[in-house]
Chain A
Amino acid sequence: AQTVTQSQPEMSVQEAETVTLSCTYDTSESDYYLFWYKQPPSRQMILVIRQEAYKQQNATENRFSVNFQKAAKSFSLKISDSQLGDAAMYFCAYRSDDKIIFGKGTRLHILP
């Protein structure tokens, strides 16, 4: 069975600094997608970034980028120039055959 592990329950970063959130997953499948979702205090689930497993190039969305290491089954999220609005719970997720498996989440605090 697929699993997603986020080993950092909480992290803090100074405003304008860079932070990296870790995620590892386990699967025997070759075709899958990986995602990072943000859940702010409003509880809305917001897609931050996604990565197709067949693509070697790391996905980038403005200040958000990933480091996808397929062989190591690692999928970390880097947030550059952190802003107060980035404070949220971040979930790493694995998707295959329409099922999404989420990690337990990392709560990110932004220090002014």
Chain B
Amino acid sequence: DSGVTQTPKHLITATGQRVTLRCSPRSGDLSVYWYQQSLDQGLQFLIQYYNGEERAKGNILERFSAQQFPDLHSELNLSSLELGDSALYFCASSETSGNLYEQYFGPGTRLTVT
């Protein structure tokens, strides 16, 4: 158990809909990262937040957005969902920002778009 929690575990929704994935980092961790793991694209970095501010951006679609709240939990919002958005979405957290600090991964949220 990494200490990172993600809800829900599974989510099934229809195309065109909007969903919100939630992540609670390990106690004391300031940085949160979001990743998408899909069959065709593999594991991709989406976005990072550090202490409430966006720190780094990867291959995140414009239909997707994220935020980190004052209590440091983070939410990833996916809108206008397409079949290709079906994937496992991971959240990871680290103590602070920087290469030195290990990222601890949550169990993931499996999103199925039908």
A residues contacting B by CB (< 8 A) are 31-33, 42-47, 50, 91, 95-105
Contacts and interface: CB of A to CB of B under 8 A. Distances in A.
A43 B56 CA distance: 25
B18 interface: no
B42 A96 contact: no
The SS class assigned to the B binding surface is strand
Interface residues of B, number: 24
A88 to B, nearest CB: 14
Given A43-B107, A43-B108, A91-B43, A99 B58 contact: yes
Contact of B56 (A47, A50, A98, A105): A98
B31 A98 contact: yes
29 contacts: A33-B99, A33-B100, A42-B107, A43-B88, A43-B107, A44-B2, A44-B105, A44-B107, A44-B108, A45-B105, A47-B103, A91-B43, A95-B99, A96-B99, A97-B56, A97-B99, A98-B31, A98-B97, A98-B98, A98-B99, A99-B45, A99-B56, A100-B45, A101-B45, A102-B42, A102-B43, A102-B44, A104-B42, A105-B42
